[in-house]
Amino acid sequence: MLAAAGLALSACSSGGGGGHDASGPSKAPAGKHSPSPSPKPTGAPVHVSLLEGDGNTYGVGMPIIVYFDKAITDAAAFEKAATVTVNGQPAGGAWYFQHSGRSDQALEGHYRPEKYWPGHAKIELKLPVKGLSAGPGLVFDDSLTLSMATGAANVSTVDCSAEKMVVTSDGKTVRTLPTSCGAAKTPTYYGTKVVMQKGETDPKTGKMRPDGTVNMVSDNPSDPYNLMVPWSVRITNSGEYVHSASWNGGNIGRRSTSNGCTNLNVDDAKWFYGFAQVGDVVTYKNTGGNEMREWDGYGDWNVPWSTWQQGGSVKSKH
């Protein structure tokens, strides 16, 4: 699992550097009054945290994800304060808010540009929101910064009718792998998915299982299984992986027979596991299934840009 991290911004004040006029302090013109300062927002504290780790590298499909421990009702101050740059230039992206998949968080804010991030880029977020309103009776209680990078622009395309996965890096094809996608009764979702995790932590030891192994357990009584599956790369919350399937070799490259995952031959799965970065893009077509929803992992790219700009569940009040 990715570690959430953020750096608190230090509050700074600028000192006056000008000299004093010998005639004394100036007076306001007659009949003129200085405006009263706006009252500071008050209310219940809203704590903000980040999914991404400061200083880490991700694939070009990785949205910036901010968590809120209370559901904010107004994002205007948040969006006005937030700045995101790519290689020092404004990113030109937008925020989209949705219910959080984490049980200890109430809401998520995802930020992405219209197209994927560029490869080999430096991305910086400044979020000086401490003390700003998060809606009536809500105030942000911390400020954050994030500095992360993108690696190579790895984008894979899976065509489930052709049963193949074309893997590209920085625009060049590096491998074509035979696949077996979801069977007709358990089809793979179509659309754009993003690598979420490689392997998993063993709850007994707190350490990553060897060989990228994931314990896959069926929740379908008519098709029970409990398997330890090596070289597993997660791409949805609901349980889709790109993984090795030694038991399905006769169908890989020929027909779709899986429970929704993308089955690969063992050597290919091992290679893809080593190649993939969290945040890499994997797109699917001709699956026979429904489109992946934005909340099922990092399905952000399946939301049309015009819809994304509207902000999701929290509308700005600019």
**Active site amino acids:** 243, 261
With beta carbons less than 8 A apart as the criterion, state whether 107 and 96 touch: no
**Residues 113, 134: Cα–Cα separation, whole Å:** 23
**Residues 54, 2: Cα–Cα separation, whole Å:** 11
**Residues 222, 243: Cα–Cα separation, whole Å:** 23
Structure tokens at 283: 């797109």
With beta carbons less than 8 A apart as the criterion, state whether 258 and 180 touch: yes
Tell me the torsion sign for CA atoms 97, 55, 13, 94: negative
Radius of gyration of the chain from its Cα atoms, rounded to whole angstroms = 24
